[in-house]
Each structure stands twice: as structure tokens, then as C-alpha cells.
Structure 1
Amino acid sequence: MKRIIIIIALSFLTANLFGQNTTTEYGLKTGINYSKYTPNIEFNGIEVVDFNGKFGFFVGGFVNFDFSDILKLQPELLFALQGTNTSQEIELRFSPDQEPVVGELKSRVTESTISLPIMLQIYPTEKFYIEIGPQFGYIVNRKEKVTDDPFTEFGSPFGVSEDCPNCDKFDLGASLGIGYNFTSLIGISTRYYAGLIERNNTIKSSVINLGINYKL
């Protein structure tokens, strides 16, 4: 958590230093996201865990530094619920004389995440822009809930839900998006985030956002 606080402080300090002769605007944003882990987990060349997308939401605020009609910088501070749905085919034998039971176990992973995107916005027209930049994340909480357990009637060994206190909490990636300002106050934007570092030695985050921006 200390790492993300330092990054936030440095980001706003840098923006303020560059923004001595710029127009500064503040705003709020909210929207939905569609997220999943990548890649699927393989064992001996066979996929054993499939990751599928799940819907969530995000909410937060931003500061927009207007350097010119073409170039702007927008640091943001967001809270998001994201994660992934999982499915895996499992074969279990509940007693030595019983035939193995095969079924598809499904679960939903939900991550409460604080994100700091720092987006460089390029305006080819007055209202339309393209944005790109790094995004830092801190996972405050991660929970996995079993949503479909085909082994329940046999005395399933799988729990209903599970926390992961030892899972990696820091995330880092890159975001690329587009946006359109309907008025000087209201606009929409869509953005794709791709994780650049592996978490828990296996997975990266992949998130699509669609949101509304409102300047105060």
C-alpha cells in the first residue's frame, strides 16, 4: 500500500510541476468493466483452468491538465471491482471402490482494486481524443466464490468461498483508449487495460472499461 501512495504523490507532484502554465480541471467518472485473467493455466500442454470474463464497475475522480488544444495529461484515482470467472474439469474418487466422478467446477474471483491510471490524451479533433499511459494498481481484497459445484451431493471438498491473503497485491500495466466530449462538462470513454507483470507467478489482468466523465 505504501508503494501506491508514493506513486500517487509523485504523479500529482509531476503534473503540478508541468502544469504551472496550464488549465487545470477536476472531475468524476464511473462506469462498468469487463475483466478476466490471462492466459489460461496449462499442465503438460493441457488447459486445466479456463478464465472467462466477468462484469464489474468502477468509480473515482481525475485531474486534467490542459497543455494545449491537442495535448492533455489526466491522472486518475479509481476504485474498481474486477476479477475473472473460472472453470475447470475435475475428476474425483470419493472411495476406493467407487467410479471417479467427473464434473466442471466453476468459481468467481472478485478483486477490490485501487487503480492509478496516468493518461496522456491526444486530441486530433476538438471533442475526440486518444489516450495512452501506464496504470498502477493495488488489490485491497480478493475473494473467490464457488458458483457451480457438481460434487456437492458426494460430499464436495471445495469450500463456498475463499480469501487469498498471500496473493500478490501490486499490479502494473498499460492502458489505451478513446473518448468523446459531448459538452465541456460531460463525455464518455472506453479503455483497455493489459497487465504487464505476472501476479501469483501465473496470471495477468485484462480489463475493458466503459464510462462517463463529468467535469466539476
Structure 2
Amino acid sequence: MQVSRLLLFTFLFSSPLLLRAQSNNPVGGHFGVKVGGGLTRLSLSGTSANIPKQNLDPNLGIMYRYRLHKVVLQPELLLNIKGGSFQVEQTGGTRLNVNNSYTYLSLPLLLGYIPTEGLTIQAGPEFSYALNSGSTNGPGRNNDLGAVLGVHYDFLDMLDKFSLHVRYIYGLTNVSPEATATYQNRVFQASIVYNLYPKKKK
């Protein structure tokens, strides 16, 4: 009887550890949908009458997350707005605020590392194509390349299908329509992800 109790106690004690060990080394992938907002602005250098200001702009899209133990590959397809806003000084000293609607279709290709379960540190390039280049308040060129650094956090318990993305996107391309100035996108972005996990096999 004592041996049976000891075996039962050992099994009950070790089961969570075994489950945790398995969750630390999973292999597989899933899709997810995401929506959020970003604090956007332009880094401006050169000669321009525009004064760059920060703006709050939306983003939405889909992702695919593939995990191999502690390494994660995560491509995404996003529709987002960048560019922030400008404060323009007019004749007479008055200032006018102008929103820049730089609408992009973006493809971040992120590589991640999981230092502890539930948290992923991510980095990689973001390739963007402007849908309104050349238009009023649009960017001066179609393509934009950015460098991404951020984190992916998985919620637990009742919110276990949701994750949080927080990242900074540092634009490397000059997207200015002005010949005398350089504009580069800067974005601090936060998004909520709904994970479409595959159904567990019975």
C-alpha cells in the first residue's frame, strides 16, 4: 500500500514537470490575426518647412508562427499607416497640422528566440509597399525597408488564445517627396493577436 501511494504521489508530482518540459520544446506552427495601433512619426533631416510630429495610426493583418523548440520563425502580412504628421508654418506665423497617411502593405520576416516560456524576443526586416505613393500627403516612393525589434508575449489561463506584440520599426529608406530633405519612418507598435491554434487530436 505504501509503495502504491508513493508511486501515485511521484506520478502526480512529476506530471506537471513533464508537461512543462514538453511545452518548452514544442514543434509546430499556427496562423493568427492581429490588430493594433502605432505611434508613428518621420525622422527628418535636410531642408524642409515641415516639423515632424507623432501620430496614432492603426495596423491589422495576419501572421504565421512556426516554432522549433526555442526558435521561432514568424512571417506576417500587415496593412498599416505610417508617417505621423507635420506642423507647417504658414504666412502670418500660424501653424497648420497635416496628417501623413502613408498607407503600406508590409511583410515583416521575424526570427525569434524564447528565453522563457511565454516570451519571445524577435528581430528581422520589414519590407513595405506604399499603396498611395505620389498622392497628397503620401510618401515619395513605393518601397520602404525597416528593421524590427520587439517581443511576443503569450497570455495564460482564460486568455491563452491571445498574444501581445510590442515592437519598434526603424525605417532605413528615404521616403521623402522633397528633393532637399530625407524622411525615414519611425514606428512604436502594439498589437493584440488572436491565435488560430490547430485542434488537438483526440
Counterparts of 2:40 and 2:137 in 1: how far apart (Å)? 19
- Which residue pairs with 1:27 in the alignment? 32
TM-score, length-scaled by structure 1: 0.69
Q: Secondary structure at the match of 2:83?
A: strand
Counting only pairs closer than 5 Å after superposition, residues 1-216 of structure 1 correspond to structure 2 as: 22-39=27-44, 41-43=45-47, 48-68=49-69, 70-91=70-91, 101-141=92-132, 162=136, 164=138, 167-183=140-156, 184-200=160-176, 202-216=182-196
Amino acid at match of 1:131: Q
Counterparts of 1:163 and 1:36 in 2: how far apart (Å)? 13
Asked if structure 1 preserves the Cα contact closer than 8 Å seen for 2:60 and 2:80, the reply is yes
Q: For structure 1, which runs of at least 5 residues remain unmatched after alignment?
A: 1-21, 92-100, 145-161
Q: % of aligned pairs identical?
A: 26
Q: How far off is 1:185 after superposition?
A: 2.1
Q: How far off is 1:142 after superposition?
A: 5.2
Counterparts of 2:110 and 2:129 in 1: how far apart (Å)? 18
Deviation per CA, 1:87-137, whole angstroms, max 9, x where unpaired? 13233xxxxxxxxx3322321111221110011111110011211010000
Q: For structure 2, which runs of at least 5 residues remain unmatched after alignment?
A: 1-26, 197-202
Which moved further from structure 2: 187-196 or 177-186? Answer: 177-186
Asked if structure 2 preserves the Cα contact closer than 8 Å seen for 1:109 and 1:143, the reply is no
Once superposed, what is the RMSD of the aligned Cα atoms? 2.2
Name which one, 1 or 2, has greater alpha-carbon Rg.
Answer: 2
Counterparts of 1:128 and 1:120 in 2: how far apart (Å)? 13
Asked if structure 1 preserves the Cα contact closer than 8 Å seen for 2:133 and 2:141, the reply is no
Counterparts of 2:88 and 2:142 in 1: how far apart (Å)? 24
Counterparts of 2:185 and 2:137 in 1: how far apart (Å)? 18
Amino acid at match of 2:131: V
Counterparts of 1:196 and 1:114 in 2: how far apart (Å)? 16
Inter-CA distance 206–85: structure 2 relative to 1 (3 Å threshold): same
Structure 1 runs of 4+ with >4 Å offset = none
Amino acid at match of 1:206: R
Q: How far off is 1:42 after superposition?
A: 4.3
